[in-house]
Structures are given as structure tokens and as C-alpha cells.
Amino acid sequence: MIIPEHILRDIVKQIPAVVINSKITQKPQFGWGDKLELNRYLENKKNDSYPLIWLLPTGENHHSDGDYCNKRLEIIIATLEEDENLYNPERYNQSFKIVLNPVTEQVIKGLTDSGVTKIIGAKWDVFKHPNYSDDDGKSNGTIALWDALKITFNEVEFNNNCLNTNIWQ
């Protein structure tokens, strides 16, 4: 059986480190699941979580021959931004330009060139969330200091071929 989460994990492991600021260069981290799993992940990993590539739960369509699986991908790409006073133009010039947009491009390149995934329809939706929080004021939110981007692929085909390990070389 094809497990898309494992394939995505293996693609993300290959993404090169990202320059976050003048002092920090870090490889993107990958996880998947619902809000409870995300909370557990962030509590455990703390600042080592970023930049974060998080796959939200969606259904899968498996083919009877076991060679293919199709799935809608909803992926949150997030980085920690501790300055709550930044306005959107500043966030776009920092978090988005330096971290989120390059990581998004790497995710797309990974899905395109991995040999084990194919974006069906060759298009996707991007929604930018500067100063993202899911805190509704009534309870503690998952994230207080995120700049995030959500990328949605309506359909990605996964197969059981060997993963191309030369994507970024």
C-alpha cells in the first residue's frame, strides 16, 4: 500500500537547508495530522519546528493494482515570526521572501521532480497568512507567532517507483 505521508516525508528530507536569518540556516521539518497532533509536535520540537511543512488530513483514492494513489494535498508552510508589530509589507519582505516562498518552490519542485509524485492538472492554489493565528480569543490557539502559507493541490498522484534522490543537485 502506498503511504503518501511517508513519500512526502522522504521528499522533504531532501530539501536543502533554508537561510532563515543571518544567524540561522535550517532544513525544513515535516509533519502531518490534525490540530491536536500539530500542538503535540510544536510542544515537543519548539523552535526546531521551523520552517515547518505540515500536511493536513485529507482522503485518498487507492487503485486496485496497488501501484497508484491519488490525494488532495493541503499543506501549511510556516515560520516563526516573533515581532508581532510587523505590518504585512514587512512580513512579505522577511518571512515570505526569505523563507516561505523559497520553501514553497522547493515543495513544488519536489512533487514535480521526485519520480514518485505527479501534480494532476499542473496547478495549485496558494493562500498567504501573514501574522497567522487560530486563537479565537476564547481559548489558547495553536500558534501565536506564525507567518504561514497554505498550498493546495487538488490532486497529486503517488506511485511506488523509486524516489529520485538527485532533485536538488
Domain extent listing, the chain: 4-159
For the cut 70, the answer to whether the pLDDT of residue 118 exceeds it is yes
CATH, domain 4-159, list 3.40.50, 3.40.1090, 1.20.1300, 3.30.70: 3.30.70
Q: pLDDT for 21-35, tens place per residue? A: 778 899 999 999 998
Predicted pLDDT of residue 142: 55
For the cut 90, the answer to whether the pLDDT of residue 168 exceeds it is no
DSSP state of 127: E
3-state secondary structure of 131: strand
For the cut 80, the answer to whether the pLDDT of residue 48 exceeds it is yes
Cα separation, 133 vs 35, in Å, equals: 12
For the cut 60, the answer to whether the pLDDT of residue 136 exceeds it is no
DSSP symbols for 16-54 = PPEE-SSS-EE--EEEE--HHHHHHHHHHHGGGG-SEEE
Query: What is the separation, in whole angstroms, between the first and last Cα of the chain?
Result: 29
Please provide the size of the chain in residues. 169
In single-letter form, the type of residue at position 104 comes to: T
Cα separation, 164 vs 169, in Å, equals: 11
pTM of the full predicted structure? 0.92
DSSP symbols for 36-105 = HHHHHHHHHHGGGG-SEEEEPP--EEE-TTSSEEEEEEEEEEEEE---TT--HHHHIIIIIIIIIHHHHH
C-alpha cell read off for 107: 515543495
Q: pLDDT for 60-92, tens place per residue? A: 999 888 899 999 999 999 998 888 889 999 999
Strands 25-26, 29-32: parallel, antiparallel or unpaired by DSSP? unpaired
